Amino acid sequence: MAEMNAPGGEPILRVRGLVKYYPLTQGILFRKQVGAVKAVDGVDFDLGAGETLGIVGESGCGKSTVARMLVNLERPTAGEIRYKGEDITRLSGRALKAVRRNIQMVFQDPYTSLNPRMTVGDIIGEPYEIHPEVAPKGDRRRQVQDLLDVVGLNPEYINRYPHQFSGGQRQRIGIARGLALRPEIIVADEPVSALDVSVQAQVINLMDRLQSEFHLSYVFIAHDLSIVRHISDRVGVMYLGRIVETGRDAEIYDHPTHPYTQALLSAVPVPDPEAREHRERIILYGDVPSPAHIPSGCRFRTRCWKARERCALEVPLLAVPAEFRYESGPAAHDSACHFAEEKQVVPPEEPPEERPEERPEERK
Amino acid sequence: MLLEVRDLHVEFRTRDGVANAVNGVTYSVDEGETLAVLGESGSGKSVTAQAVMGILDTPPGKITAGEILFRGQDLLKFKEEERRKVRGAQMAMIFQDALSSLNPVLSVGAQLGEMFTVHRGMSRKDAKAKAVELMDRVRIPGAASRVGDYPHQFSGGMRQRIMIAMALALEPALIIADEPTTALDVTVQAQVMDLLAELQRELDMGLILITHDLGVVADVADRIAVMYAGRIVESAQVHDIYKAPAHPYTKGLLESIPRLDQKGKELYAIKGLPPNLLHIPPGCAFNPRCPMAQDVCRTDVPPLYEVTGAGPDRRSACHFWRECLDG
């Protein structure tokens, strides 16, 4: 299995062979298992301290299930999640509680992830009920106000209710709650996808700032490839329960070698009307197969334009493809494809020379 | 001109007061043209579209002023009966959420066929054949065998195709697509947008694309109208606006989106929040969030100035559009 060594020493989180199957059963009295929805089907990655790992993929690829397993909201079917060397999937009781303090989550929907009957102060302060060692009782109010200040909300809002805030402000409350226990790792599942464009940037900048201020490590899960590129140091692309390609952001975005990544990148609309004429688009046909019936061999082969016989027989491993193994260039990163090939699909920053009538970009 | 909206005003009477959702919107679309209406939630882009389609909930909504000219005739003066003949046959709408816009207890074939039985007086058998034809046209594999399936049996992308098929059924001259791909994954979004663009070319339809996604706009639109707090703040040809925006709001939006092909350090963020429609700020509605705001912006509502020297047929509702264009 490919090693993805995070830069800067020992990874804070090491995930190996992570699997989550949901059983499909039949019968009422004698339930028997007739199959399984393979939501996550063998995921490996490392997260370095202070690093941001972006995980992208379409709906149903298992990225949210990975997030939920990282924070122990779901128990993995198999595999290990090592936090500083310790496998947290095997912990229970007090030891588990101590670890969970250090891995916190920010949820997608700021409208449903905050209890409407609790004040902001109670929401952000609730983690202290479970981990009273972090903030002694008399000190909590002040702590919560500090947190509100840190995420850019007025500390006087402590007695207000969630409905009195806009979407962006609510997401700040969700982030403040995530920070309350001073965790080392934040798992953010689509933290900005419910927000308006002009507010997204505010929240992304806030997360950037908090990362350097508190030396946080992020697992940032999203379907928006542009946002993931902006915030991530490394990126993993998921398809149908597996990571199919992973590498540093420039490796993935500028030198993708897996056909799925290439298709995904080429499908993203670029906010530049000049790009539409000279941009090659790969349009995938069909839909993602059901995770209850995963194709044999390479799971992407049913939609892949390169698929050959070998793809149906042999599962491609996530490793540096043989073609690039002896290179040191940006194409030499892990990609689970038998026929990996480098292909540039995102237009380069500078417009190509062969357009003399072009005026130079006036935007900064 | 196929459709012209002139100085449209829509308000909603709510318990807390009157919300001014649309405050003087003017835009037009021609045959074969794609107009993108860009705005954030609450900007009035969908309400304007609903008023054009004649599906605005009244009450609480109320059109207080303006004209909606379709091929020169003011739709607002039509009786409901006449309006119904226009709707579906001459203009049709594609909604964001296909699952909740389709009837879950009727097969898709029945829903598609209904267009023909109601508007064209066809028999149910002929209507069904038409439905299969339409499903083929939007490239649903195995249309003939799937015509009896129910909406929940289709994937999100396929459901959106059915919505498109339904909108196209009577070959209308104008299609309004309200966030047609927002609920879809990017690879499916690309399929659906491609299909829509192709059918539009084929039938030479006018298309109003309502969206918040600057990427989608850049990909498909000819013209763009940016809305903020119920008004058009800038309108231009799509190339011109991306090259040099003439309104600080557009400029802020363009700078605040992370780009796939660039990795910047900090994103520019428009400060503050969109205004509450019950209390729109006096003067320019954008002034509390605008980095260029002067005293005049807090008192005088800017008219939709004609912008010269930066592309044809261009307008901006900013007192300082010149300064904005220059940088």
pLDDT in tens, B230-274: 999 999 999 999 888 999 999 998 888 887 776 666 788 888 888
In CATH terms, is domain A11-26+34-335 a member of 3.40.50.300?
Answer: yes
Nearest residue in A to B249, CA atom: A198
Residue B96 lies in a domain: no
Q: What is the mean pLDDT of residues B161-189?
A: 86
What's B53's domain CATH number?
A: 3.40.50.300
Residue A273 — left, alpha, or beta (φ > 0 → left; ψ -120 to 50 → alpha)?
alpha
Which residues of chain B lie closer than 8 angstroms to A268, CB-CB?
186, 215, 260
Asked if A168 and B267 come within 8 Å (Cβ–Cβ), the reply is no
Nearest by CB: B194 against A59, A264, A283: A283
Q: Which residues on neighbouring strands pair with residue B218, listed in sequence order?
A: none
Asked if B186 and A202 come within 8 Å (Cβ–Cβ), the reply is no
Q: What is the mean pLDDT of residues B140-147?
A: 86
Sign of the C-alpha dihedral, residues A316, A317, A320, A325?
negative
- C-beta separation of A261 from A244 below 8 A: yes
Residues B165 and B216 reside in one and the same domain: no
Task: Quote the CA–CA distance of A267 and A282 in Å, as a whole number.
Answer: 7
**Does residue A278 belong to the interface with chain B, where contact is any CB pair within 8 Å?**
no
Residues B59 and B153 reside in one and the same domain: no
Q: Which two tokens stand for residue B277?
A: 């429609």
Residue B98 lies in a domain: no
Residue with tokens 């997608």: A108
Residues B17 and B158 reside in one and the same domain: no
Residues B177 and B245 reside in one and the same domain: yes
> Structural domain tally of chain B?
2
Residue B138 lies in a domain: yes
End position of a domain, from candidates B126, B152, B171: B171
Residues B83 and B107 reside in one and the same domain: no
Which residues of chain A lie closer than 8 angstroms to B275, CB-CB?
none
Tell me how many degrees the CA angle A101-A102-A106 measures, rounded to the nearest 5: 85
Query: How do residues B286-323 score in pLDDT, each as one tens digit?
Result: 999 999 888 999 999 999 999 888 888 899 999 999 88
Residue spans of the domains in chain A: they are: 11-26+34-335
Give how far A305 is from chain B: nearest CA, Å. 14
Instruction: Residue window 338-357, chain A: list those with CB within 8 Å of chain B.
Output: 346-349
Question: What single DSSP character describes residue B184?
Answer: S
Residues B79 and B155 reside in one and the same domain: no
Domain of B146, in residue numbers: 103-171
Residue B284 lies in a domain: no
Residues B24 and B110 reside in one and the same domain: no
Give how far B277 is from chain A: nearest CA, Å. 13
End position of a domain, from candidates B171, B199, B219: B171
Residues B198 and B56 reside in one and the same domain: yes
Asked if B214 and A197 come within 8 Å (Cβ–Cβ), the reply is yes
Residues B163 and B36 reside in one and the same domain: no
Instruction: Residue window 207-226, chain A: list those with CB within 8 Å of chain B.
Output: 208, 223, 225-226
**Does residue A273 belong to the interface with chain B, where contact is any CB pair within 8 Å?**
yes
Listed in sequence order, the residues at least 6 apart from B128 whose beta carbon sits closer than 8 Å to its beta carbon are: B109, B113, B147
Task: Quote the CA–CA distance of A266 and A244 in Å, as a whole number.
Answer: 17
Residue B141 lies in a domain: yes
Residues B215 and B295 reside in one and the same domain: yes
* Strands of B15-94, DSSP E: 17-29, 34-38, 61-70, 73-74, 91-94
ipTM at complex level: 0.78
- C-beta separation of A129 from A101 below 8 A: no
pLDDT in tens, chain A (364 residues): 344 444 456 899 999 999 999 988 888 777 888 888 899 999 999 999 999 999 998 888 899 999 999 999 999 999 999 999 889 998 888 889 889 999 999 988 888 889 999 999 999 999 999 998 888 888 889 999 999 999 988 888 899 999 888 888 899 999 999 999 999 999 999 888 888 888 888 889 999 999 999 999 999 999 888 889 999 999 999 999 999 999 998 899 999 999 999 999 988 888 888 877 777 788 887 778 888 889 999 999 999 998 899 999 999 999 888 888 777 788 889 999 999 888 887 766 544 444 444 444 444 3
- C-beta separation of B251 from B290 below 8 A: no
Which runs of consecutive H residues, i.e. helices, occur in B54-104? 80-86, 98-101
Task: Quote the CA–CA distance of A127 and A178 in Å, as a whole number.
Answer: 9
Residues B190 and B51 reside in one and the same domain: yes
Asked if B187 and A229 come within 8 Å (Cβ–Cβ), the reply is no
pTM of the model: 0.83
Nearest by CB: B267 against A168, A205, A359: A205
End position of a domain, from candidates B171, B201, B230: B171
